[in-house]
Chains A and B, each alone.
Chain A
Amino acid sequence: MKEKSLWKDALGRLIKDKWAFGSLIVVLTYSLIAVLSASGVIAQDWAKEVGASNLAPGSEYWFGTDIFGRDVFTKVLHGTKIAMSVGLMTALIAIPIGVTLGALAGYYGGWVDDFITWLYTTFSSIPNIMLLISITMILGKGIFSVYVALGATSWVTLCRLIRGEVIKHKEREYVQAAGAIGGSHFRKLFIHILPNVTHIIIINTSLQFQFAIKSEVILSYLGLGVQGEPSWGTMIDDAKLELTRGIWWQLAGATFAMFLVVLAFNLLGDALRDSLDPKLKGK
């Protein structure tokens, strides 16, 4: 019951915050576009030639056309699906691994901590870019590799942060008290400590989400991105050859689409943090 009211409370405050509410709408809209695009309702005809190549934006094609005469706007819509799925899948891979390992390490200490610390130190000490490239080399190119590669490199930060936070909380009075009245380890860790570090997870996830969306661009630049369908990354990558010719609309379209959603995720993350942090309640 207590949990429920916390979230209800948070939601209430979220709606009151105009920026956060707006961001929520943006994220939901993007999600909707992504779902519609994935289920084939919209943007399925992105590959169709609708006009001459490299038409400037106009009333007919809002974002112009690309080199093959495809509608850039449709490509942007289709790219939304890729971007959102990359963000989501990365988070889904990174959060469970990062939180579980981080919490266990921080709470139990000893050899568990040693092992997990060793694991994430090893992982984080190898430059991300090498891991990314190697993983895509092993799994083959494609969107699945992008998910795994980004997931496998982004759990580390979360793990380290959670571990540090759990160590800090473990020593605090309220946990000591919970221990004194006979709370089990499981109870102490998951009921008492974890809710106190949720904001870390949330901030990190919103960061992770936008990091993943932006990383897709870098991966596309390196030729390791999504294949066979348009993504914002490949569109921005195309632009590096087009901009000096005055073809700016692919870059602008993809950048604008990306800008909105990344901004929204960031703002939403902040707002969620403010409303979810137990310490901030009632202030």
Chain B
Amino acid sequence: MKSLVLVVAITFLVFGCSKENSFDEREINLISPEKISGFDPINASDKYSANEAGKVYEGLFEFHPLKRPYELIPNLAESLPVVSLDGLNYTFKLRKGVYFHDSPVFKQNIGRELNAHDVIFSIKRLADPKLNAKGWWILDDRLVGLNEWRIKNSKNEKTNYEEEIEGLKVLDDYTLQIKLNKPYPQFLYALAMPYTFVVAREAVEFYGKEFLNYPVGTGAFVLPKFEQSSMITYFRNPKFREKLYPSEGEEGDDKLGLLADAGKKIPLVDKINVHVMVESQPKWLSFMKAKNDLLEVKDVNIQQSITPDRTLKSDHKEKGIRLIMKPMLDVTYFAFNHDEPIFKNKKLRQAMNLAFDRASYNRLFHENTAFEAQGPIPPGLDGQKKEFKNPYIKYDVELAKKYLAEAGFPGGKGLPTIVVQTRSDTVSRQQVEFFEKCMEKIGINIDIGMNTWPELVNKVTKKQHQMYTMAWGADYPDAENFLGLLYCPNQAPGSNGANYCNPEFDTIFKQATVLQDSPERTDLYEKLNEMIAFDVPWILGFHRTDIYLTQAWLKNFKHMEFNHSQFQYLNVDLEVKKQLLNKF
């Protein structure tokens, strides 16, 4: 009986233990939907690890937080580089007065000034064969001597960082020169990606294998030690250089209040808490309890927040919640494996494409927020003509049946059951179920193959699949990143998991990749985009929409595709928060 009383007592103790918000500090609360594994920038390959790395580390360049289309601006670099006429020699000037975070790795624990050697070291680190970084592909076969250095060191016991590389030269403490072995128009984008964020050699050497838990960067926030936990707390970097909030942006930013902090020194908050939450229900519930300031809503779930006419529900409005919907730079698709003889049959591919009911799919899975893809290139990037309509992107069961008959499979006769490989989560399963129902209508049998992520990747890299579903998000704002998915030399284990090979496409693609941004290149991109539209190497799906809900007190959040550098600009209005909290 005693223990019974005890248990009841404990139960009462925990009631009402729910924590209250504090107003002592200017803090913002964000969510990471994936576990954070560590802070090594060279491995920050997915959006969420990039977001975390971007709070502590910085690169030479970053995207302007407000301007659209995306514009690169110098960050650790003082200005845009001087490029030689042949487009191969880049000379960078570094900003002076940039200091690393205070850390025991430095003399007297005080962060030292960043110099050109750090940049070179960080690039070499990305190429280090012993580290086998996920980000290596952005510099693979790009810089003079870097690949040779990598190959040489893969045989050595220890990587030799002392050796000079022709393509990477320090001219003085604040100047460096990088030599490319062929034109690489996306090179500056590579220097804005987390992979090339600048790290301190002292930290790498001091911490060794534990380096990924001790991020010593130059960024606006500091994290002394990373530990696996359900919440990561970053503190304002007290010694952060004089970096100001931009005073100009896209048209209309002014009205949205995005320029209210113009000219102020960043960071504007003391603390960022990142809550790790995997499941969608707790994310949504805790946002609605005002525990988090920003919620990335998956399109399937948007119904809970908006009315049928695309406006925010009134109970959300009362709480001051805002809805932000912006198209993403991505494409979803059902890929054929072109190594399978049946998929060499173009009529069959077109028939399946025509039988896919995109409008219903969009309604069921994207709540009509996605855009039917006319080609692989998403709108907003050069290469996607606004007026271009793909003639095969329509739902026409009769035509599909006709094409199927012309393909030699009238009514689906003679076709084997086709297995579509997908990920094993609920939505992926339902999406393929829907595809199955569509194909059933023209007599094609589909089976669902569900896979954990490793299994799916394995099947694709080993070419052991007939079809699979995929979503590709841009690494940088350039159509090359999307068209490369269909470039023959990229076939499995590369990113061309469809193993599509079209010599004509390849020739033009090769031409386009060495061109700088120009009308000529845009022409080539458009040509490629349309070529894909007619040849149907994939069943194109959608360009999706990013949907965010933000609390009224979160300031300066603007939708950004590559948002790892965005967090330093955020602000919080504690007065608004105080007023609104009683409504939650």
Contacts and interface: CB of A to CB of B under 8 A. Distances in A.
A260 B488 CA distance: 56
Contacts of B455: 137
Interface in A213-256: 222-224, 227-228, 234, 237-238, 240-241, 243-246
Contacts of B449: 141, 227
B427 interface: yes
A20 to B, nearest CB: 30
B162 interface: no
Interface in B273-289: 279-281, 284-285
A57 B437 CA distance: 24
Contacts of A222: 424
B364 A53 contact: yes
Contacts of B247: none
A250 to B, nearest CB: 11
Contacts of B451: 141, 223
A223 B429 contact: yes
Interface string B432-455: 011011000000000111111001
Interface stretch (B299-307, B379-387, B394-402): B299-307
A192 to B, nearest CB: 41
B364 A67 contact: yes
Contacts of B424: 141, 222-224
A259 interface: no
Contacts of B447: 227-228
A174 interface: no
B429 A244 contact: no
B437 A47 contact: yes
Interface string A125-138: 00000000100010
A25 B49 CA distance: 55
A68 interface: yes
A227 B426 contact: no
Contact of A244 (B281, B430, B434, B448): B281
A240 B448 CA distance: 21
B448 A228 contact: yes
A228 B433 CA distance: 7
Interface residues of B, number: 28
Interface string B290-325: 000000000011011000000000000000000000
Contact of B450 (A223, A240, A243): A223
Contact of A240 (B303, B423, B426, B436): B426
Given A47-B437, A67-B364, A68-B433, A245 B426 contact: no
A141 B447 CA distance: 12
Given A223-B424, A223-B429, A240-B280, A68 B304 contact: no
Nearest to B424: A223
A174 to B, nearest CB: 39
Contacts of A53: 364
B425 interface: yes
Contacts of A246: 304
A53 B367 CA distance: 12
Contacts of A133: 452
A176 B368 CA distance: 77
A53 B304 CA distance: 15
Given A241-B301, A245-B301, A245-B304, A141 B450 contact: yes
B303 A243 contact: no
A239 to B, nearest CB: 9
Query: Contact residue range for chain A?
Result: 20 to 34
Given A223-B450, A227-B450, A243 B281 contact: yes
Nearest to B440: A47
Contacts of B430: 67-68, 238
Contact of A241 (B285, B426, B436): B426
B261 to A, nearest CB: 34
A136 B71 CA distance: 48
Residue with the highest number of chain A CB atoms closer than 10 Å, among B280, B304, B447: B304
B319 to A, nearest CB: 16
A223 B455 CA distance: 12
Residue with the highest number of chain B CB atoms closer than 10 Å, among A53, A243, A244: A244
Contacts of A240: 279-281, 426
Residue with the highest number of chain B CB atoms closer than 10 Å, among A68, A228, A240: A228
A234 B432 CA distance: 14
Given A68-B434, A241-B301, A245-B304, A223 B281 contact: no
A136 to B, nearest CB: 10
A223 B301 contact: no
Interface string A91-132: 000000000000000000000000000000000000000000
Interface in B197-245: none
Nearest to B304: A245
Contacts of B427: 241
B364 A68 contact: yes
Contacts of A67: 364, 430
B450 A241 contact: no
B426 A244 contact: no
Given A141-B449, A223-B429, A238-B430, A244 B285 contact: yes
B169 to A, nearest CB: 50
B423 A223 contact: yes
B304 A238 contact: no
B303 A245 contact: yes
Contacts of A238: 426, 430
A224 B427 CA distance: 14
B112 to A, nearest CB: 47
Interface in A114-169: 133, 137, 141
A228 B280 CA distance: 24
Interface string B335-356: 0000000000000000000000
Nearest to A221: B426
Nearest to A230: B433
A147 to B, nearest CB: 17
Interface in B480-498: none
A259 B151 CA distance: 62
A246 B285 CA distance: 13
A244 B284 contact: yes
A198 B451 CA distance: 41
Interface in A63-81: 67-68
Interface string A239-282: 01101111000000000000000000000000000000000000
Contacts of B450: 141, 223-224, 227
Interface string A44-70: 000100000100000000000001100
Given A223-B450, A227-B450, A244-B301, A237 B426 contact: yes
A241 B433 CA distance: 17
6 contacts: A68-B433, A68-B434, A240-B279, A240-B281, A241-B280, A245-B303
Interface of A: 47, 53, 67-68, 133, 137, 141, 222-224, 227-228, 234, 237-238, 240-241, 243-246
Given A47-B437, A141-B424, A223-B452, 15 more contacts: A67-B364, A137-B452, A222-B424, A223-B429, A223-B451, A224-B424, A224-B450, A227-B450, A234-B426, A238-B426, A240-B281, A241-B426, A241-B427, A245-B301, A245-B303
The 10 A-B pairs of least Cβ separation, nearest first, read A223-B424, A245-B304, A245-B303, A244-B284, A141-B450, A244-B304, A227-B448, A223-B450, A237-B426, A228-B448
